[in-house]
Amino acid sequence: MEHLDRENMANVEKQENIEAESLIKRKKKKKLGGIKTMPFILANEICDRFANTGFHANMITYLTQELNLPLVKAANTLTNFNGAANFAPLFGALISDSFAGRFSTIMAGSIIYELGLISLTISAVQPRFHPPKCPTQENCKEASTLQIWVLYICLLLTSLGSGCIRPCVVTFAADQIDMTKSGVAARSWNLFNWYYFSMGMATLAALTLVVYIQDNVGWGWGLAIPTTAMALSILAFLVGSPHYNRIKPEGSPLVRLAQVIVAAVRKRKEVVRADPALLYENRELDAAISLNERLLHTNQFKWFDKAAIVTGSDATDSNTPNLWRIATVHRVEELKSIIRMFPIWAAGILVFASSSHSRSFTIQQARTMDRHLSHSFQFPPASLAIFGVISLLIGLVLYERLFVPFARRFTRNPSGITYLQRIGIGLVINILATVVAAVVEIKRKAVAAEHNLLDDPKAIIPISVFWLAPQFSLHGTAEVFAFVGLLEFLYDQSPESMRSTAAALYWIAISAGDYVGTLMVSLVHKYSGKKSNWLPDRNLNRGRLENYYWLVTATQAINLLYYVICSWLYTYKTLEEVSEICEEVEELAGDEIPSMILDSRNGHGEVELGRNELA
């Protein structure tokens, strides 16, 4: 052990030189990036979201009205491909973090996505890709196998493209600005709030313009507009490319996690000493994966600390350690951080599952209700989602400008409340949304029964379609808290080198929610009976959709209890952060390197200026 200590001391001077070179590189990178790059990056995501919403929002109508698919089959088809699109970010993130980088991954994904949109637009205007029209919605001829496969290929291309774009855009935007704890606390705006706000504006435009064109002009034009928007997004992203700060990927994060696990298994018989200072540290080795922050040792999941125990058989040369036999504390803590995040992440799955099919069914409800705003103009059913988007946009502004300053007075937290508190509030609001949905469906069917319209699936029930607006507004408000909070939590609590992967976890939660929703709908449709099926194929008036909403409400209530327990037990990561001020002091201090030591137990970090002696 003494021999190892002498060798580590001998490498101190070399490590100082490496850190000095790293400081020079960081200062050069400051000339790139910055706020000036945000319009180009967000323009790409805004156009992407406009295109995505433009063809997904009303796709249930396309499947049921143009391809004549039964409601449950159409809803499950749409949800399954949404699930694929939301699972694909895992592969996009791994490609980005492992070797391609975020810029190249976004570009490749945008091109694939555009090819999918072009193919979908062509299939919409070619009659041979459609079955005969069925205005009565009775005894309709469904789309043929070939026609269905054409649709599947188009949706698959868009899913693969979005899988490359989604995990990288928000993290690429974060690469352009100072996202250290001190940097975030110094700003009066939150990147994730404004990212979501920009996406909300794009969604609102798509729901009002594109959906109206699809319902009243035609699907050719209705899909051509999103296709054009996506092409513009690629152009905008390319224009800003000379100004981007591009962080070089440093190998697969999954390989690093696997190395820690293998090293710990190999040393399973070793005893972890009480003093964490005896565990293996190598700043030179970790420099490329800890540019702005270094994870500090925590006492949670101490079994994995075995991977950092130095034994006589381990290579001690700092340049050539066998990472399948020994891991640094930083790498061990990367694995611990991911493990800690999983229970909180899992709670988001049922939240997304609760809304995975609700909009599909809500659009079908809306088609049976009075949608007239004037004698000649009818409100498009798919545009009901604008109430959720408007609530999201207003909620984000109020949250940042009113709620955060108010809460900050009591909590002393720069962000008002912690991520976990924000997510919890969103979960409660989402439960209220499904309760309202069930009550409104009961009201809709009561009016239908009063006018003897239960057996006419094409009849317009004399009840305003805007009875459906409150549930959308509640879902939008829930997004302000739960969805934005979850994305921010995953970004902040993930290791620095795994942030694209962490962003992918957000989309994977949506994907898993889609598939859980599909499973629930399929089981309910199969086992809720034939005569009074909760989710019938054609006549929703004879269904029991309200019972499905009550079932969703019950599962969410159980999920909320699970989340409260997990959040109560959660331990925030602890890290050592080199701030901008400390970087300047480094040049003057020489061998003494001040650093920002942050204990994140409050969710956003209480900053304490510490001094780390290298010698």
Residue pLDDT, tens place only, 21-49: 555 455 444 567 677 788 788 777 787 77
**Predicted model pTM:** 0.74
Q: Does residue 1 sit within a domain?
A: no
Instruction: Examine residue 11 and state whether it is found in any structural domain, yes or no.
Output: no
pLDDT grade for 287, boundaries at 50, 70 and 90: confident
Residues 387 and 516 in one domain: yes
- Does some domain include residue 355? yes
Q: Which amino acid is residue 416, in one-letter code?
A: G
Report the chain's mean pLDDT, rounded to a whole number.
79
Q: Are 369 and 461 in contact (CB under 8 A)?
A: yes
Exposure string over 274-293, b if 16+ CB within 10 A, otherwise e: eebeebbbbbbbbbebbbeb
Q: Which residues, including other chains, have CB under 8 Å from residue 398's CB and lie 6 or more apart?
A: none
CA distance 151 to 4: 62
Same-domain pairing of 397 and 447? yes
How many separate domains does the chain show?
A: 3
Residues 229 and 89 in one domain: yes
Within-domain flag for 594? no
- Please indicate, yes or no, whether residues 312 and 421 belong to a single structural domain of this protein: no
Whether residues 246 and 257 share a domain: the answer is no
- What is the arithmetic mean of pLDDT over 85-111? 84
Tokens at residue 403, please?
A: 């709620």
Q: Are residues 415 and 473 in the same domain?
A: yes
pLDDT in tens, 474-499: 999 998 999 889 988 988 888 888 88
- pLDDT (tens digit, 9 = 90+) per residue, 419-470? 899 999 999 999 999 999 999 999 999 998 888 888 887 788 889 999 999 9
Report pLDDT for 346.
92
Strand 369-370 relative to strand 461-464, pairing: parallel
CATH for 547: 1.20.1250.20
Statement to judge: residues 134 and 263 lie in one domain: no
- C-alpha distances (whole Å) from 473 to each of 61, 224, 437, 463, 554 are 22, 29, 11, 19, 21
Residue 203 clears pLDDT 90, i.e. is over it: no
% of the chain at pLDDT higher than 90: 15
pLDDT for res 9: 54
Per-residue pLDDT at 71 exceeds 60: yes
Element at 592 (helix H, strand E):
strand 592-599
Return the pLDDT at 610: 33
Query: For residue 308, how far is the Cα from the chain centroid?
Result: 32
41 contact partners, CB below 8 Å, separation of at least 6: 169, 172, 173, 176, 237, 240, 244
Q: Which of 530, 436, 443 is nearest to 475 (CA)?
A: 436
Domain that includes residue 123, residue range: 30-251
Q: Are residues 512 and 561 in the same domain?
A: yes
Domain limit, last residue, from 251, 282, 302: 251
In sequence order, what are the residues at sequence separation of 6 or more whose Cβ sits closer than 8 angstroms to the Cβ of residue 135? Answer: none
Least confident of 50-59, 206-215, 268-277, 488-497: 50-59
For 22, residues 6+ apart whose C-beta sits below 8 A from its C-beta are: 287, 291
Give the pLDDT confidence score for residue 437 in this predicted structure.
92
Q: What are phi and psi of 33, to 5 degrees?
A: 70, -150
User: Of 306, 334, 362, which closes a domain?
Assistant: 334
Find the length of the chain.
615
Considering the chain, what percentage of its residues have pLDDT values greater than 70? 83
Instruction: Quote the DSSP letter at residue 100.
Output: I
Of residues 512 and 576, more confidently modeled: 512
Q: What is the mean pLDDT of residues 254-264?
A: 89
Q: Which amino acid is at 486?
A: L
Are both 393 and 480 inside the same structural domain?
yes
Quick one: average pLDDT of 388-406? Answer: 88
Cα–Cα dist 536/528, whole Å: 10
Amino acid present at 362: T
| Residue 181 counted as domain residue | yes
- Nearest alpha-carbon partner for 355 in 423, 428, 437: 437
Per-residue pLDDT tens over the stretch 148-185: 888 888 888 888 888 888 888 878 887 777 655 555 55
Instruction: Please check the confidence at residue 262 and state whether its pLDDT lies above 90.
Output: yes
Rounded Cα–Cα distance for residues 120 and 79 (Å): 17
Contact by Cβ (8 Å): 453, 541: yes
Q: What is the pLDDT of residue 598?
A: 40
Report how far residue 386's alpha carbon sits from residue 377's, in angstroms, rounded to the nearest whole number. Answer: 17
Whether residue 382 contacts residue 207, with contact meaning beta carbons closer than 8 Å, is answered with: yes
Lowest mean pLDDT, pick from 280-289, 329-338, 353-362, 577-586 = 577-586
Would you say 362 and 468 are in contact if contact means Cβ atoms under 8 Å apart?
yes
How far apart (Å, rounded) are the C-alpha atoms in residues 490 and 487? 5
Counting beta carbons within 10 angstroms of the beta carbon of residue 318, is it exposed (0 to 12), middle (13 to 18) or buried (19 or more)? middle
Please indicate, yes or no, whether residues 261 and 362 belong to a single structural domain of this protein.
no
pLDDT score of 580 more than 80: no
Residue 25 lies in a domain: no
Q: Coil, strand or helix: which one is 374?
A: coil
Q: Which of 107-121, 268-282, 349-363, 599-613 has the highest mean pLDDT?
A: 107-121
Domain end residue (candidates: 285, 303, 334): 334
pLDDT greater than 80 at residue 54 = no
Classify residue 22: in a domain, yes or no: no
Q: What is the reported pLDDT for 605? A: 39
Q: Over 80: is that where the pLDDT of 402 sits?
A: yes
Both 306 and 352 in one domain: the answer is: no
pLDDT at 138: 67
Q: Is residue 34 part of a domain?
A: yes
Report the Cα–Cα distance between both ends of the chain, in Å, rounded.
Answer: 18
Pairing of strands 293-295, 606-613: unpaired
Residues 345 and 432 in one domain: yes
CA distance 240 to 296: 36
Give the separation between CA 389 and CA 477, rounded to whole angstroms: 9
